[in-house]
Each structure stands twice: as structure tokens, then as C-alpha cells.
Amino acid sequence: IVIQQFLVKKQNISVPKILQDLMQLGAFLVLAIVILHQYYKLDTSILVTSSVLSIVIGLALQDTLGNFFSGLALQLQRPFDKGDWITFNNQIGQVTDIDWRAIRVRTLDFDFYTIPNSELSKTSFMNYSKPTRLHRIVIPIGVHYKSPPNFVKEVIMNLLEEEHEILKNPKPSVMLVKYNDFSIDYEIRVFTENFRRYKEITDSIYTKLWYHF
């Protein structure tokens, strides 16, 4: 009641589901202990037995408990939310579900990739959706030496004016980055807020380049 009515609805505070479940579990445990103490006169021998049992269960469920506490830490830290695009172990995908044991990610190929919380907490990953959904796409291209750099940049910038899926602010740019043996290398830098479409945007720009050149 406190979480749903006061924090979520009135204060508009987002409370992670795993934290809600943990608070409910804690409330039930306190209630159970009170009932056992009041009506069944809970004594020390039961506490000792339960402690031994807890140790046995804890040893048997090390991986599960590791995933649980890692999931709790991730939920409290909030490095990502549902809908965010992340990369992990060379897999790029959108977070679709976060629970006690693992997170599920849907890749660009629409396959589902499950990552245990304990594994995720031990390594680095990149979030393409935070702190903002702004993402830069860098497109390399090599051009023949006979084409003057200023003219190449002008042609490419005119091309980018026709590309509707890139942002006008921040402005796109074209940078000369290297003189190779057989080409002058450039980088086309554009921005988008739709990370899922970055491959399609790259394809569109590469296709237009051939016709403009």
C-alpha cells in the first residue's frame, strides 16, 4: 500500500520491482516471527535449528543467492532500465525484462539473450540509452586523391540534408582523418535518438554516397 499508493501514484517515484518484492518478503517474515513468538512461544532451540538450516540452504543456493543480491544491487544502482539498449559480451540488445535471477535482452536479430545478474555485475557493459538516447554514428569512407577535400565534404553534407532519420542538432559533420596510400579517409559523423535503426541509417547513407559521388 505504501509503495503503490504513496510512492508510485502520489510522489511519482519509480520503485524497482525487486525492491518491492524484498520489502513484502521482509514484512511477511516479521509478521511470521511475531505470530510464532506470541502464539507458539518461539524458543532458542528453534532459532538455532533454523540458523543451521539457513546455512545448509545458503550453501546449496550459492549461485541463486549470488544472482539475487547482484540483481538487488543492479536495481538499486539503476545502470539501465527496461527499453534501454546495451552491449554485453559482443551482444547488442534491448533490455526487455529484469528479475531476481537475470535480465533478458532482445538482440537486433530479435533473438533473446539471458544474462545472469551475478555475471553482469562482474563485468563492464555499455548503455546506449543513458544518460540520454542520443547516439553518434561514425561512418568511415575512402575517397580518391583527385577529389579535393572541401568539395568532398560539400557533397557529403548536401547528401546528409536528405537523410531524415538523423538529427539536425547536434549537427552532422565530415572529418578528414587520414591520408592512405590509395585514398583520403574521412569520417561521417551523424546523430540519432533511435539506436535500433543505426544499421539502416548507415546503409542509407552509404547507398546515397554512391549516387552523389
Q: Does the pTM of the predicted model rise above 0.75?
A: no
Per the prediction, the chain carries an average pLDDT of: 81
pLDDT at position 63: 60
Torsion of CA 57, 63, 68, 73, to 10 degrees: 130
In the prediction, which pLDDT does 51 show?
57
Query: Strands, E, within the chain: which ranges?
Result: 85-88, 91-98, 102-107, 112-116, 126-127, 135-143, 173-179, 184-192
Q: What CA–CA distances, in Å, run from 209 to 74, 111, 162, 197? A: 43, 32, 11, 18
pLDDT range class, residue 44, cuts 50, 70, 90: very low
pLDDT above 80: residue 46: no
